[in-house]
Amino acid sequence: MNFIFYFGLLIFPISHIEVRKMKFKTKDRPRHVIPISVTDWIAEGVTAIVFLAITIIFLFRYPSVNDKVAMHYDLTGNIDRMGDKSGVFFFFGLIILLYAGMTIAQKFPHTFNYLTEITEENAKRQYTTAIRMIRWLKLMLVVLFSFIILRTIFPRDISNEVFIAVIITFIAATFIQMIGYFIKSGK
């Protein structure tokens, strides 16, 4: 799964010498099958249900959406840019990429970059923590982008206040979850 490795390099650029060391280290990392807990199944189930629901809503509602839809909102939730309704496909495509990419990535925790050295003793704990972080991040991002699509195709049904509150809540929850991961994985 070198694409995951190289995608990570786009986000966190490092020198070529470090890349060679990391590629060598990821090959030698232990591989474990990480069991899925009940809460993990719930997170996966909710994510799949939201993904399926937004897919059905999008496919059935898209033909009746106005030709011009909101493409960007300011900090108060007011529309500050309109665009063609085909722009909604961008958000839907983003959900598909996030869902598929994060689901595939979960299967290869030995290729991730970690804050600590991966050993046989800590591999299972580190892999479990990383997979769980990706699983919950996937849930939050799918719900967030689904909500943005709903706001775009049902503009009168979601008020500005609710829209901003939901966006801020999910962005804050995402950062809190990632900080929790960094704290937990650093131990």
- Burial-class residue 94 by CB neighbours within 10 Å (0-12, 13-18, 19+): middle
Q: What is the pLDDT of residues 138-167, one digit of tens each?
A: 999 999 999 888 888 887 787 878 888 888
Handedness of CA 55, 59, 64, 67 (dihedral sign): positive
Please give the structure tokens belonging to residue 64: 């009746």
The SS3 assignment for 131 reads helix
Domain ranges of the chain: 37-185
How large is the C-alpha radius of gyration of the chain? 19
Q: What percent of the chain has pLDDT over 70?
A: 85
| pLDDT confidence bin for 26, thresholds 50/70/90 | low
Residue 53 has pLDDT above 90, yes or no: yes
Give residue 180's pLDDT.
Answer: 86
Give residue 2's pLDDT.
Answer: 47
Give residue 27's pLDDT.
Answer: 66
The pLDDT mean for the chain works out to 81
Q: Which residue has the higher pLDDT, 42 or 8?
A: 42
